[in-house]
Amino acid sequence: MTGSVEEVRAGLLAVSERLFAAHQYARQAGTLLDDAIAELTRLSEQHSESLVPAELRRARDELDRGLEFVNAGTVAVGDVEARL
């Protein structure tokens, strides 16, 4: 029985590490998207229409949603670990 619990803990640790990495990558992607939006917004000042595609703003919103899911997964894994 102990071996099984240790295997579950090891699996949860691996999941936690991957969730942490996903969170870091998503935050970095968010920063890059923000930079792109800011630059396109700046360039839009010289044009009659916005150069920021609506899809780019939606991508940023979806990334935020994804981060919420990653955070929820992190909390759930932590809860399971705490109960072991």
Model confidence pLDDT, tens digit, residues 57-75: 999 999 999 999 999 999 9
Whether the Cβ atoms of residue 52 and residue 41 lie closer than 8 Å to each other? yes
Whether the Cβ atoms of residue 19 and residue 70 lie closer than 8 Å to each other? yes
Residue 70 has a CB neighbour count (10 Å cut-off) of: 20
Whether the Cβ atoms of residue 57 and residue 37 lie closer than 8 Å to each other? yes
15-29 pLDDT, tens digit per residue, is 999 999 999 999 999
Cα 10 to Cα 79: distance, rounded to the nearest angstrom:
15
Reported as a pLDDT band with limits 50, 70 and 90, residue 3 is confident
Report pTM: 0.82
pLDDT at 35 over 70: yes
pLDDT at position 2 is: 61
Whether the Cβ atoms of residue 70 and residue 22 lie closer than 8 Å to each other? yes
pLDDT at position 1 is: 54
